[in-house]
Structure 1
Amino acid sequence: MRIGELAERAGTTTRALRYYESLGLLRARRTGNGYRAYDEADLTLLRQIQLLRDIGFELEDTRPFVDCLRAGHPEGDACPASLEVYRRKLAELDAYVARLTEARGRIAEQLARAESAAAPAPRCEFTCEGSTP
């Protein structure tokens, strides 16, 4: 298939495919007239990249998964390098969650302190329902 068809089937742009090619993540073969040619394996690679990007991986983090697929594994995360990327990403997320939890706790403490120190709102002594003052 040509680049336009691959982009359409993958739900991306030809520009993105050329960029992936420039990074070595995607390898185009050339037809006799110079057109880029791709196959179903390339679509599988793209879907792996997109899946990983959708869940927060940087583009360079997808390389071990692509390499794993190219090595003949049916899944891109079956290789040790891919598993290591998963472990690293989980550690990053755990650290981020810990920072967020700490920040949330500090904000909750500040709010509680501020609420207890705040002057109570003045109460209205008069009600004007049904009468004019």
Structure 2
Amino acid sequence: MRIGELSRRTGVSERMLRYYEQEGLLRPARTTSGYRDYGEGEVQTARRIRLLSASGLKIETIRILLPCMLDEPPRFEPCGAVRAALQQEVDKLDDKLRDLGESRQLVSGYLHSLEPTTSGNRGKAR
């Protein structure tokens, strides 16, 4: 199948499919005239990449996880680097959540400072 059909079947844009090929994640066969010829294996791989990407994983981590991914929803065989890669991603998410919590507290404080105070007009919006 051509790239347009693969895109329709997987919901992945043609541009992203080319990028995945450039990154070595997809390896379509080529016709004698040089056109990409995708098969069912690439359909499955593109869907898995999309699923992993939707989880917020970057291409470097997807490259580690993809060969160990067995099916959908994601189930992994215990490849050596899978646990470490997933733990690293969980740690990054924990850091982001902590940072977001701190940002929320700051913004909430700013909002609270706009509330009218009981002494005079100080703090009232005009």
Deviation at 1:36, TM superposition (A): 1.3
Q: 2-side partners of 1:9 and 1:33: how far apart?
A: 24
What does residue 99 of structure 1 align with?
99
TM-score, scaled relative to structure 1: 0.70
Which segments of 5 or more consecutive residues in structure 2 lack a partner in the other structure? 122-126
Decide whether aligned partners of structure 1 residues 87 and 33 sit closer, same or farther in structure 2, where only a CA change above 3 A counts.
Answer: same
Which segments of 5 or more consecutive residues in structure 1 lack a partner in the other structure? 122-133
1:8-63 CA distance string (max 9 Å, x none): 11112222212211111110111233221122221111111111111211122210
Query: 2:91 is aligned with what amino acid?
Result: A
1:56-76 CA distance string (max 9 Å, x none): 11122210122325xxx4556
TM-score, scaled relative to structure 2: 0.73
1:64-103 correspondence runs (5 A): 64-69=64-69, 73-74=70-71, 77-78=76-77, 79-103=79-103
Number of matched pairs: 119
Decide whether aligned partners of structure 1 residues 33 and 105 sit closer, same or farther in structure 2, where only a CA change above 3 A counts.
Answer: closer
What does residue 16 of structure 2 align with?
16
1:62-114 CA distance string (max 9 Å, x none): 10122325xxx455632332332221111011111112223333444565566
Please, what is the CA RMSD of the aligned residues? 2.8
Q: State which structure, 1 or 2, has the greater radius of gyration over its C-alpha atoms.
A: 1
Kept in 2: contact 1:30–1:37 (CA 8 A): yes
